[in-house]
Amino acid sequence: MSVQRLTSKDFGLLENPGVKSVQIIWGQNAPDAKVTVTRVTVQPGSTQARHSHDNAEQIWLVERGTATVLLANEQTSQMHAGDVILTPPGDIHGIINTGPETLVYLAITTPPQDFSAAYAQTGETS
């Protein structure tokens, strides 16, 4: 694999009501990449349902906002701008934006995942 330059024209966009995921690096623009990089925005009151990625780890770098992280067994945790959230493969996770402003985070997923089907079928996101 050689050096690859991507611009915003190369990014993908996945949307559900209240949630937008810009696929910065993913299989459709960087098939040899070892990660998927997604910039996610969640509007106040919007939810990403609990879900898991059986074989993928996710790291969230929270850029802006606050939210409640939805965990297994109906447990929750708070997250705020500046936090880093690490989700091991198979762990249940989701989000509800409980704050007054748009939540923005960068999700790094490895190995790479294509979230298109999840958005189209179930509304679950990265």
Q: Which domains can be identified in the chain, with CATH numbers?
A: 18-121 (2.60.120.10)
The helix, strand and coil proportions of the chain, stated in percent and rounded to the nearest 5, come to: 10, 45, 45
Burial class of residue 125 in the structure, from the number of CB atoms within 10 Å of its CB (0-12 exposed, 13-18 middle, 19+ buried): buried
Beta carbons of 68 and 83 less than 8 angstroms apart:
no
Residues 94-119: tens digit of each pLDDT = 999 999 999 999 999 999 998 888 78
- pLDDT band of 120, cuts 50, 70, 90: confident
* Predicted pLDDT at 1: 65
* Predicted pLDDT at 116: 87
* Predicted pLDDT at 118: 78
Q: Residue 9 carries which DSSP code?
A: G
Beta carbons of 39 and 104 less than 8 angstroms apart:
yes
Residues 42-79: tens digit of each pLDDT = 999 999 999 999 999 999 999 999 999 999 999 999 99
